[in-house]
Amino acid sequence: MTDKPGGGPAGSSGGSAAAPPNLGGRGGEAPVRGSRGPLLYSDVIRERWRRPHFRGELPGASAVAEDVNPLCGDRVRLMVALEGDRVATARFVGDSCAICTASADVLAELVVGRSRAEAVRVDTSDVLAVLQADIRPTRMRCVTLPLSVLAMALNGKS
């Protein structure tokens, strides 16, 4: 009896065999072990974990929120600087796993330049589409924690 690979996550590229877009990742590195379909640790996740683009403090942020994942104790704080109604920039800090860190980093990138209302509408499938990874249900909270923290920040419940 062997494990079947789980179905692709919602928002992943519909079982396409094409290589995921390599967003700034260095090519040629050996994939993380395991021979199942899309990898848990995709190139995007590996790259964002090693060299996150949006990690750091944001002094004078207009909106800040922080939360923990009770499952693993991961903690993420998101800081957003608004210019009028637009997200000028976003940063995150926290103790988090590779998936949660990559999710926060991708999310910060996705919301920059959007209006507050548009930023709140960025959802799990948008982040998963960039991550290009086989996120199993047990790790989905790692993806969604930054999204719920962002909603807290932008809805003023920090």
DSSP line for 77-92? EEEEEEETTEEEEEEE
Rounded to a whole number of angstroms, the minimum distance from the CB of residue 124 to another protein is 18
- Based on the shown chain and the rule CB under 8 A, indicate whether residue 128 belongs to the binding site for another protein: no
> Within 19-78, which residues bind another protein (CB under 8 A)?
32-36, 40-41, 46, 49-50, 71-75
DSSP line for 107-149? HHHHHTTSBHHHHHH--HHHHHHHH-----GGGHHHHHHHHHH
- Name the residue nearer to another protein (CB basis): 80 or 132: 132
Chain-centroid distance of CA 6 in Å reads 20
Stretch that binds another protein, among 15-23, 93-101, 107-115, 117-125 (CB under 8 A): 93-101
Name residues whose C-beta falls within 8 Å of residue 140's C-beta, 6 or more positions apart in sequence: 9, 124
SS3 label, residue 118: helix
State how far the alpha carbon of 92 is from the alpha carbons of 1, 7, 45, 122, in Å.
42, 30, 16, 16
Rounded to a whole number of angstroms, the minimum distance from the CB of residue 92 to another protein is 15
Residue with token string 């004078």 = 60
- Name the residue nearer to another protein (CB basis): 32 or 88: 32
Rounded to a whole number of angstroms, the minimum distance from the CB of residue 24 to another protein is 16
- Name the residue nearer to another protein (CB basis): 39 or 63: 39
- Name the residue nearer to another protein (CB basis): 51 or 121: 51
Give residues in contact with another protein (CB under 8 A): 1-3, 32-36, 40-41, 46, 49-50, 71-75, 95-99, 139, 142
